[in-house]
Amino acid sequence: MLLNLFMRRIIKPCNLSGLSIFIYLMLLVAFNARAEDRILESIHVAPGQGYSIVDIELNQQLTVSSYAPLKGGDQLRIKVKRTGSAAQITEQPTNYETLSWSPTPEVPLFEVTVDLDGAIVLGFKKYVTYEVRGGSNAFHIFVKVFHAGAVGGKARQAAGGVVIKQYQVKGAVNPKFATAMNDAREAMLDKDYSRAVQLYTKVVLDGPKSMYAKAALEYLGLARERKGQLAHARVAYKKYIKLYPEGKDTERVKQRLAGLLTARAAPREKLRKGKRKPHKETPGFQWDTFGSVSQFYNRDESKRNKDDARLNRSTLQNNMDVTSRIKTKDVDVTARFSGSYDVNLEVSDPDEKRISSSYIDVRYKPLDVGLRVGRQSRSTGGVLGRFDGLLFSFPAAQDVKLNIVAGYPVESSKNTFLDKTRYFYGISADLGTYLNAWDFNMFYIEERDHSLLNRRAVGGEARFFKRNYSFFTFLDYDIHHDELNTLLFTGQYVFPDRTTFNVSYDHRLSPILTTRNAIQSQGSNNINSVDDLLAFFSEDEIKKLARDRTATSDTLSFGVSRPLTEKFQFNADVRWSNFSRTDASTFSGSRSVFNVQSSDGSGDEYAYSADITGSSLLTSGDLYVFGFRFNDSDTSNITTFTLNARYPITRNLRINPKFRFDLRDNKDNGTTRWTYRPSVRITYRILKALQLELETGGEWEKQERTVQERQAAATTDPNDSDHTKGYFVIVGYRFDF
């Protein structure tokens, strides 16, 4: 039914090129609902030795401020913040963003979602251990997922849920044993298991009552197991269980012992052959298709004072996101289509169609050559987001890859047709990695709008990544308008105790300076394109109009995240931002088009926020976030308190209650506004691939009236304040395949 609806209501009415229609038919799929400020773009999983890297590609520049739980779990919540002037992800009652993935035994990931509090949540089918760090730039987040039984990297070490700790020597009760434990840890990292066995044995025998003996005995069993001495490993594990019969660590050791015993046990009888015929695959050929289909009913009503209730939204959201991959020895082909069709049931607004992605990506592995054609998003190389076109990549030399890009910019996923009035082309080079830490990108890009040059920019990126510290900087300079469009710097340092410090500075023109900016505020004069302006202005004057309509945004932020205990984490941020005024355009002439008024800036704004996160407090997998935020601007002060909890009632049933309180003091008229927003979200997975979801909540608002408003309403409504109340409900299902 969904596919028929999509073909009938989306494909046929759209003005699509033959290439786009070909891609759509090749994909035979549709939809994944996304708001204009959507965050998730795609997921890529790169396998490694003992671990895999989950690369979450974003459509916005975000930095990781914290994550919980710290070590492992079946759900990972990553708190992010924008690098631009908008500090937080907008909270609104709409469908959660979701990307599906095909789970594997090594990476049991099945979905990545964005919740309404601006956090990215990864759902796994079982307990995994991981590390989280920023990606190759501000549009990526990397999650290092350790394979079961594997030993991790230098900073941490994971093996079937075991994290080999590093101990502080200075000030330790017994520096001798602390040093031995750290030396043994390094030996494990270097796979020198014989030396690790010697060191752990020494700690176990010489310090049986020390604080290190318990961990040393477990790690001794692990070192024996890694060395292939399975009988000795079983002895160590059994001794551990006897000495320490209770606790989570003991349960983990019991699982490792059971795994050794199971691996040694021979089957008692020959397994029966299944009735299902095995799927025949051509050697070297793999075909994998995965995605999700969902339908949600979204209703939102509100009522002000004694007025009749107002229906703000009544929509049936039909969503699908499908990816199909074909892999051969030499060629990888990926096809993806995502979009949505929202049917407005009772509101007069028209139905809404969106196409977010529609492309085919072909990679020829022997030459490392790639071609992607269709609707896609790109966040590097000077490209400003979504476009319809092609991207061709090929190696030019060692550690140098060239990228050629061309296409038509797409301002909104609502534009389901090609806009051929604007087009761009550019070239970029990816350089690195050098010294195992440095990567660079340089680009040149040019965009034309009708007959005028819209943008001609040069710039680049520099990325430095080490295990405990990293930074990313990006520069975009428009040589046509002779203006710096964007300068971005983000940095992060992780201390040995896992305290994380973040800093970012963002300077940019808003919106990005293009000749097209000149048509802003010209709608009343029937000016809809830059070509229309040529009847009144020279090209230099149009460039001046464009600069007058463009503001400047500056943001500086500092953040810190620190684990208080194994279950509690503290996060805090301080942010300063300033959004400048725009200039008036005062060209002389006889028509009003020559006069455009200036707009005021925001002035200096300050934001202070802090939250405490607790995990696994009442049961394994639960999560609680209590947050505070204070915004100080020229027009108002806003104080916000939030409470967000997630509690797994059963493995398949989860409840997510939330509460938010806002207090706004308006400086211009001395009034105050109170807002209360409670809500609850319930998810129930009734089948392996089918999940039911319900979210409902309300909002109560009290706004004080000004003296003038009180006087005007004195005869009809003697109250000193306005009262607004409302509710929303989102109910539906999601089917993963």
Looking at per-residue pLDDT, the higher value among 13 and 330 belongs to: 330
Nearest to 362 by CA among 377, 374, 353, 345: 374
Average of per-residue pLDDT across 174-179: 79
Looking at per-residue pLDDT, the higher value among 211 and 490 belongs to: 490
Nearest to 339 by CA among 419, 412, 423, 418: 412
Residue 38 CB: number of other CB atoms within 10 A? 19
Which one of 1.10.3720.10, 3.40.1380.10, 3.40.640.10, 1.25.40.10 gives the CATH number of domain 168-262? 1.25.40.10
Percent of the chain clearing pLDDT 90 (strictly above): 33
Q: How does pLDDT run across 248-261, given as a tens digit for each residue? A: 788 888 888 877 76
Lowest mean pLDDT among 125-139, 271-285, 357-371, 664-678: 271-285
- Whether residue 511 has a cis bond before it, omega within 30° of 0: yes
Q: How far apart are CA 338 and CA 316, in angstroms?
A: 17
The answer to whether the CB of 723 falls within 8 A of the CB of 673 is no
- pLDDT value of residue 151: 41
Nearest to 20 by CA among 404, 378, 355: 355
Lowest mean pLDDT among 30-44, 45-59, 172-186: 30-44
Residue 666 — φ and ψ, nearest 5°?
-85, 120
- pLDDT value of residue 333: 95
Q: Strands, DSSP E only, in 580-667?
A: 585-586, 595-596, 603-615, 623-632, 636-648, 653-666
Q: How far apart are CA 620 and CA 649, in angstroms?
A: 10
Looking at per-residue pLDDT, the higher value among 94 and 162 belongs to: 162
Percent of the chain clearing pLDDT 70 (strictly above): 82
Q: Which two tokens stand for residue 87?
A: 């500090």
- pLDDT value of residue 718: 67
Single pTM value for the model: 0.72
Average of per-residue pLDDT across 661-679: 93
Nearest to 486 by CA among 74, 75, 72, 85: 85
Most confident of 145-149, 170-174, 391-395, 493-497: 391-395
pLDDT at 423 over 80: yes
pLDDT at 229 over 70: yes
The answer to whether the CB of 433 falls within 8 A of the CB of 371 is no
Lowest mean pLDDT among 255-259, 620-624, 715-719: 715-719
The pLDDT-based confidence of 49 (bands split at 50, 70, 90) is low
- pLDDT value of residue 84: 52
pLDDT at 373 over 50: yes
Lowest mean pLDDT among 184-198, 592-606, 648-662: 592-606
- pLDDT value of residue 528: 75
In three-state secondary structure terms, 128 is strand
Going by the DSSP 8-state scheme, the letter that residue 89 receives in this structure is P
pLDDT at 680 over 80: yes
Looking at per-residue pLDDT, the higher value among 689 and 639 belongs to: 639
- Ordered by start, the domain boundaries in the chain are 168-262
Lowest mean pLDDT among 130-139, 163-172, 230-239, 353-362: 163-172
Most confident of 278-282, 409-413, 426-430: 426-430
Looking at per-residue pLDDT, the higher value among 576 and 623 belongs to: 576
Average of per-residue pLDDT across 634-647: 93
The pLDDT-based confidence of 100 (bands split at 50, 70, 90) is confident
- pLDDT value of residue 536: 81
- pLDDT value of residue 265: 47
The pLDDT-based confidence of 154 (bands split at 50, 70, 90) is very low
pLDDT at 667 over 80: yes
The answer to whether the CB of 490 falls within 8 A of the CB of 558 is no
- pLDDT value of residue 83: 63
Going by the DSSP 8-state scheme, the letter that residue 525 receives in this structure is G
Average of per-residue pLDDT across 622-651: 92
Average of per-residue pLDDT across 46-70: 80
> Does the CA dihedral 392-41-134-101 come out positive or negative?
negative
Average of per-residue pLDDT across 207-236: 85
- pLDDT value of residue 306: 85
Average of per-residue pLDDT across 459-486: 90
pLDDT at 275 over 80: no
Of how many residues is the chain composed? 737
The answer to whether the CB of 577 falls within 8 A of the CB of 507 is no
Looking at per-residue pLDDT, the higher value among 96 and 495 belongs to: 495
Q: How does pLDDT run across 501-545, given as a tens digit for each residue? A: 989 899 999 889 999 998 876 655 667 788 888 888 888 888 988
- pLDDT value of residue 318: 94
Average of per-residue pLDDT across 396-407: 94
Lowest mean pLDDT among 50-64, 463-477, 602-616: 50-64
- pLDDT value of residue 1: 38
The pLDDT-based confidence of 341 (bands split at 50, 70, 90) is very high
Q: How does pLDDT run across 573-615, given as a tens digit for each residue? A: 999 999 998 887 766 544 444 567 778 888 899 999 999 999 8
Q: Which two tokens stand for residue 227?
A: 């060395």
pLDDT at 18 over 80: no
User: Which helix (H) or strand (E) element contains residue 464?
Assistant: strand 452-465
- pLDDT value of residue 710: 72
Place of tokens 């194994």: 566
